[in-house]
Amino acid sequence: MFLCLAIAAQAQNPFDTFKQFSATIVMSPMPAGREGGGVKVYRSGDKMRTSMPGGAGYMIMDLDQHTNYMVMNASMCMQMTPQPQQNPFSQARNATVDRSSAGTDTVDGHPCKVENLTVTPQNGEPHKMKVWEAQDLKGFPIKIETQTSRGPMTIEYKDISFSEPEASLFVHPDNCRQMPAVPAQR
């Protein structure tokens, strides 16, 4: 799972600034079973939706309630309380963010300010990452390099739109079953 990460900033938080957008996420290396390209992500306020590769379904995250809904066709829906994962937009909430400049760069034609961030969630361990903030996209963090329990990972956001996503994208089926919490993998 690569969907959750929480940041609230000492300085301006590059993840909590963007309350509505859609984009395609491309990760490398791709987690097992997710090869074959990017996945679509949508954010509207405290809700995020991420498609699963190959049309297997989608995940809706309620960032405020710390609840995920995994929908795998109209007949199967699971409600979960997530462990912190690898989505900077969710891990960055209610955390302290320390920033230091790492220069400038260009990613996919976007001029970027590059920063080293240390994100420390409330009652959590610090997490370091390098972030490329596209200056022509209001500072949107289009590239992130981070260390995970499985090694280094690069997350890139492409085809970014700041149009408000359809509200229907964030509605889960009524048949969601509560699933037991799964211990975090380290």
Q: What CATH number did the domain enclosing 99 receive?
A: 2.50.20.10
The rounded distance, in Å, linking the Cα atoms of 21 and 82 is 22
Number of domains in the chain: 1
Q: Is the pLDDT of residue 182 over 70?
A: no
Give the pLDDT score at 121.
75
CA distance 148 to 91: 13
Which token pair is 115? 């920063």
Res. 86: pLDDT tops 60: no
State the average pLDDT for the chain.
80
Of 92, 74, 91, 73, nearest to 82 by C-alpha is 91
Query: What's the pLDDT tens digit per position in 89-134?
Result: 665 666 788 889 999 999 999 999 999 998 887 777 888 999 999 9
**Which range of residues forms the domain containing residue 164?**
20-178
Span of 35-39, 54-58, 114-118, 154-158 with lowest mean pLDDT: 35-39
Residue 13 lies in a domain: no
Mean pLDDT computed over 11-23: 77
Task: Decide if 33 is inside a domain.
Answer: yes
The pLDDT value recorded for residue 163 is: 95
Omega within 30 of 0 (cis) for the link into 29: yes
52 located within any domain: yes
User: Using CA of residue 6, residue 121, residue 117, residue 26, what is the dihedral sign?
Assistant: negative
9 occurs within a structural domain: no
- Residue 5 included in any domain: no
Q: Is residue 68 part of a domain?
A: yes
